[in-house]
Structure 1
Amino acid sequence: MIYFVAGTDTDVGKTWVSAALLAAAQTQGLSTLGLKPIAAGCEPTPQGLRNGDALALQAVSSVPVPYELCNPIALAPPIAPHVAAAESGQPLSVDRLQNWLAQPALRQAQGEAALCLVEGAGGWRLPLDRRHCLPDWVRLQGWPVVLVVGMKLGCLNHALLTAEAIRADGLTLAGWIANRIDPAMSHYQANIDTLQAMLGAPMLAEIPHLADGSDASGYLSMAVRHLIGQ
């Protein structure tokens, strides 16, 4: 199964949740693959530009792929990817992403993985250029979407608008994961209850606020079973 992982905003824990989902799947004996097609804010290394999020996904992928297949578009500036890509002389496009996806080695790896997660960048409406956004490409694949909701003030609007946009783009919202990024969020449970009533998709998991670097995979076992069972 292949899912696209979206977030309600930047810095809501998409990578952390995706890596934990893959780790939870491995504990259930499932083969895994995590991919990060577009990443900005990459660091120079002797091997080339590397992104911490992509490396985290690669580390919990039991189906091995070279870094360049995991993260084909690695951009150094920590800015909007389409701006960074244009400045580098290699603008983003749907065709560029399609060419990456069509590589036989990547197709084979995806076929070997019981659970493959393709993580987006930023929020849902990430521009590729001045006419296209990342969902224009995701729609071509027909991948169901897992939405990571960063539980903080403003999350209701962000989550409901994102769910509306996912469906308007002709895609299925397979479920959502509540990630409590603000431990002091007022009326936390009331917000959870509201989202459960209004998002129109199952809450796959609820992750409490955890210390940086903590393992969240224990909260995602049922989410994996739900996703694999769909």
Structure 2
Amino acid sequence: MARNAIFVAGTDTDVGKTLVAAGLLQAANNRGLKTVAVKPVAAGCEQTEDGLRNADALLLQQTASLKISYEQVNPIALEPAIAPHIAAQQLGRRLDADRMAALCRGVMMQPADLVVIEGAGGWRVPLNSRQTLADLPKQLKVPVVLVIGMKLGCISHALLTVEAIVKDGLRLAGWVANRIDPDMSCYQENLDTLKGMLSAPLLGEIPVLNDTSPKTVADYLDIDPIVGCS
């Protein structure tokens, strides 16, 4: 059974959830901790000779120190590169938080020091007509690490997401500022505002990087606040 598990969420899609999730895994690996990862649902998968594969899920699989099958890392792989619930509908499938939670619990049984569970899109991404992806960490009762894509409008997105996380009864274990817009005006002022308004610890500030490998990203992350959380 894993000692600690976290859910990596984002303020939106394309804010760097996988970048941060892989960086957290690597940072834990650097300490000699055993890590494992799961991305329960991924859209935009590509057909390969081994079946559908998602680049983000493959990176998590490769970075984690405990090697499990791709099907365990990414049990629900969808080919259309659109919202997961719409992709599932097009394929005649139905996404369900209860099933996802069961799949994640299987990975959480691994003898890991840290399990990193990566979400998809933002906090309220629909799974079906009554559930959103937020129901997954709610069922698992795991703390959340929020990735904030630093761009115009990020403060409101971040505050609304944190408000929803807390309303859902979950703890924000920390947040990461990922600079996705290199030309963002008043970057430091925006970062300082977030620091002042978010009570959770800042785990790292990731600049625009040419090398986005987990080993590079790990250097910008502090996992002290989350290694002991559960």
Q: State whether TM-score is above 0.5.
A: yes
- Partner residue of 2:88? 85
- Partner residue of 2:46? 43
- Partner residue of 1:27? 30
Q: Distance in 1 between matches of 2:97 and 2:228?
A: 30
- Partner residue of 1:14? 17
How big is each residue's C-alpha offset from its partner over 1:116-137, in whole Å with a ceiling of 9 and x where there is no partner?
1100000000101011101122
Of 5, 10, 13 in structure 1, the residue corresponding to residue 8 of structure 2 is: 5
Shift of 1:189: 0.8
| Aligned partner letter, 1:159 | A
Q: Distance in 2 between matches of 1:102 and 1:60?
A: 20
How many residue pairs get aligned? The number is: 224
Q: Distance in 1 between matches of 2:102 and 2:140?
A: 13
- Partner residue of 2:155? 156
- Partner residue of 2:187? 188
Q: Distance in 2 between matches of 1:226 and 1:78?
A: 34
Q: Distance in 1 between matches of 2:80 and 2:126?
A: 16
TM-score between the two structures when normalised by the length of structure 1? 0.94
Structure 2 stretches of 5 or more lacking a match? none
Shift of 1:95: 2.6
Of 63, 69, 74 in structure 1, the residue corresponding to residue 72 of structure 2 is: 69
| Aligned partner letter, 2:40 | P
TM-score between the two structures when normalised by the length of structure 2? 0.94
SS class of match (1:53): helix
SS class of match (2:115): strand
Q: Distance in 2 between matches of 1:10 and 1:66?
A: 26
Shift of 1:25: 1.0
Greater than 3 Å deviation, 4+ residue runs = none
Task: Say if 1:35 and 1:29 are closer, same or farther in 2 by CA, change over 3 A.
Answer: same
**Does the 8 Å contact 2:15/2:147 carry over to 1?**
yes
Instruction: Confirm or deny that 1:177 pairs with 2:180.
Output: no
SS class of match (1:178): strand
| Aligned partner letter, 1:82 | H
SS class of match (1:226): helix
Q: Distance in 2 between matches of 1:52 and 1:211?
A: 18
1:109-128 to structure 2, matched below 5 A, reads 109=110, 112-128=111-127
How big is each residue's C-alpha offset from its partner over 1:40-97, in whole Å with a ceiling of 9 and x where there is no partner?
0000011110000000000111111100010001000000100111221221012321
Of 34, 57, 62 in structure 2, the residue corresponding to residue 59 of structure 1 is: 62
Aligned residues: CA RMSD? 1.2
How big is each residue's C-alpha offset from its partner over 1:4-52, in whole Å with a ceiling of 9 and x where there is no partner?
0000110001001110111111111111111100100000011110000
Q: Distance in 2 between matches of 1:211 and 1:65?
A: 29
